[in-house]
């Protein structure tokens, strides 16, 4: 049972790599175009205001945003494909259907119970938003993961279902989407009930996040810890727009929430106004100052730790992957691609990451850093840190470097101490010539021979980096022969099931093996 659970977690973790691989490069483009299209950037660089330039930028932003507006759908498909063992196409189809049903059922439940928010400005404060044109709860990736897992399990369980002759048309694979539809109905009702409790809980404890001594630490801990569930949006909105984030008196007028007060000072009053020194350090530590510690220092530190702990033979490929996911955060404030690379491989390490994020944010309490805005990218640092006066950006760099060192050594120690399979930590390759020359047919022949021949192979599948093969008898496997193929790792996660690691070549090798079975 323990091995099955471990294997299941590993399979699930790998299933997330497909949507993450899509998010990383597209997120980088979205981050750049998002920054270049902002009014404050155009004011500083007039060239960006050119009609043709802005049309190009806005078009790219619109095109790339469709990916991030539909992250749950990507995760639903990716998880269903990666976790299901049989009939993956049906699993993916059912996952999409299941996600759609869950989304609309939550909308119906919210409407019936009178909790569907009418004011668009208040949607995010209760975790609601527009998803595929439907106002519902914003579960983000978590919603897609739920749909994907359920669809995968139902597919493996019912794809051979036999019904009475009168209903035979709906038997087998056709039954899976129908069963998925039925299962998602109660789930779509249950989730809003749970989410409502969680949201009320966050509101009830919001006073902790605003404590003048430890509040910012608790806030950033909770912010990172809630990312896998999509609830960090709720937390951020609570302190940004509601009384829970404080009421600030500026020039005789009260401003509710930290973002409303920040907007007044940053865009209207400026650094010379008395409220700048009085309020900005306390406001921005929940906004850009805290976020920049993550995007500009912690994420690069974690990426460097992963690169340095990667095996020598894998460093070239690993470097390209890590540079992409780090730049995605650095330029676009999209941190999930890197966070998800270790979230499901080592959940304990993610908890440490969240705790450290809270602890290492505490010095913001006694520093005078006053850098807006909310995204925390290098562009925000350049505009609101370097070009504004009295931001004390040097203090942020010093604190950031301390964060970089701490996160780098903590992650490097954890990865090596516990032998975590972060990117690049596969076994060294005995013979890389075949892979370098892309001789996939020859590799397939060696793999089949090493597995004991075609007759010993029950099923061939692959994830992002590994062949996953069901065997008749694992005693017939010749591992030494398989290593001649150029694989960087061979694993038996369970009896009569083998994983053979080929990295980014795996899909081509899987196709070659299928052609020779």
pTM comes to 0.69
Q: Alpha-carbon distance 217 to 403, whole Å?
A: 14
Taking only the tens place, the pLDDT of each residue in 442-454 is 999 999 999 999 9
Question: Vertex 153, ends 147 and 158: CA angle to 5°?
Answer: 120
pLDDT (tens digit, 9 = 90+) per residue, 279-323? 999 999 999 999 999 999 999 999 999 999 988 877 877 888 788
- Domains of the chain plus CATH, in order, are 2-203 (no CATH), 215-417 (no CATH), 433-516 (3.30.1360.60)
Per-residue confidence at 275, pLDDT binned at 50, 70, 90? very high
- What CA–CA distance (Å, rounded) separates 188 from 102? 5
Compute the distance between CA of residue 133 and CA of residue 122 in angstroms, rounded to an integer.
17
As a whole number of angstroms, the distance between CA 239 and CA 395 comes to: 24
> What pLDDT score was predicted for residue 62?
87
What is the arrangement of strands in the sheet containing 457-462, beginning at the earlier edge strand?
Answer: 457-462, 466-471, 497-501, 489-494
Q: Which two tokens stand for residue 162?
A: 């036999």
d(CA 285, CA 283): 6
CA distances from 511 to 445, 515, 517 (A): 12, 6, 10
Residue 44 has pLDDT above 80, yes or no: no
Please state, as a whole number, how many other Cβ atoms lie within 10 Å of the Cβ of residue 470: 15
Which one, of 302, 295, 298, 286, lies nearest residue 329 by Cα? 295
Q: What average pLDDT does range 261-287 have in this prediction? A: 92
For the segment 345-404, what is each residue's pLDDT rounded down to a tens digit?
778 899 999 999 999 999 999 999 999 888 888 888 988 898 888 999 999 999 999 999
């Amino acid at each position: 049972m323990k091995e099955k659970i471990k294997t299941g977690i590993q399979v699930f973790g790998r299933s997330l790599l497909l949507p993450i691989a899509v998010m990383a490069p597209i997120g980088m483009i979205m981050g750049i175009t998002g920054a270049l299209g902002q009014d404050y950037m155009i004011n500083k660089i007039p060239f960006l205001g050119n009609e043709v330039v802005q049309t190009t930028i806005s078009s790219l932003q619109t095109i790339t945003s469709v990916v991030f507006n539909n992250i749950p759908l990507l995760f639903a498909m990716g998880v269903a494909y990666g976790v299901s063992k049989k009939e993956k196409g049906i699993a993916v189809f059912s996952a999409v259907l299941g996600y759609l049903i869950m989304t609309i059922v939550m909308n119906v439940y919210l409407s019936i119970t009178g909790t569907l928010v009418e004011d668009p400005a208040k949607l995010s404060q209760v975790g609601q938003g527009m998803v595929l044109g439907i106002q519902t709860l914003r579960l983000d990736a978590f919603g897609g993961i739920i749909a994907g897992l359920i669809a995968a399990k139902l597919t493996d369980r019912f794809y051979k279902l036999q019904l009475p002759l009168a209903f035979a048309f709906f038997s087998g694979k056709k039954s899976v989407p129908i069963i998925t539809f039925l299962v998602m109905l109660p789930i779509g009702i249950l989730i809003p009930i749970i989410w409502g409790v969680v949201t009320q809980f966050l509101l009830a404890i919001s006073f902790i996040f605003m404590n003048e001594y430890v509040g910012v630490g608790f806030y950033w801990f909770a912010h990172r810890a809630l990312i896998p569930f999509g609830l960090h949006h709720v937390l951020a909105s609570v302190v940004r727009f509601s009384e829970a984030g404080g009421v600030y008196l500026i020039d005789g007028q009260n401003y509710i929430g930290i973002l409303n007060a920040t907007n007044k000072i940053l865009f209207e009053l400026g650094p010379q106004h008395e409220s700048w020194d009085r309020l900005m350090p306390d406001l921005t530590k929940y906004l850009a100052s805290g976020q920049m510690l993550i995007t500009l220092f912690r994420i690069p530190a974690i990426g460097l730790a992963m690169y340095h702990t990667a095996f020598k033979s894998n460093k070239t490929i690993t470097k390209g992957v890590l540079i992409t996911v780090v730049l995605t955060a650095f330029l676009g404030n999209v941190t999930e691609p890197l966070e998800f690379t270790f979230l499901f491989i080592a959940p304990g390490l993610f908890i440490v990451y969240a705790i450290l994020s809270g602890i290492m944010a505490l010095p913001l309490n006694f520093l005078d850093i006053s850098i807006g805005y909310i995204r925390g990218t290098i562009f925000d640092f350049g505009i609101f840190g370097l070009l504004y006066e009295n931001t004390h950006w040097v203090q942020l760099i010093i604190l950031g470097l301390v964060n970089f060192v701490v996160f780098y050594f903590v992650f490097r120690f954890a990865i090596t101490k516990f032998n975590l399979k972060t990117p690049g930590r596969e076994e060294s390759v005995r013979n890389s010539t075949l892979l370098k020359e892309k001789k996939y047919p020859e590799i397939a022949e060696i793999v089949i021979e090493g597995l004991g021949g075609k007759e010993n192979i029950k099923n061939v599948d692959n994830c992002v980096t590994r062949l996953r093969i069901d065997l008749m008898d694992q005693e017939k496997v010749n591992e030494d022969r398989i290593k001649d193929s150029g694989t960087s790792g061979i694993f038996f996660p369970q009896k009569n099931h083998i994983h053979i690691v080929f990295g980014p070549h795996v899909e081509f090798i899987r196709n070659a093996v299928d052609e020779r079975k």
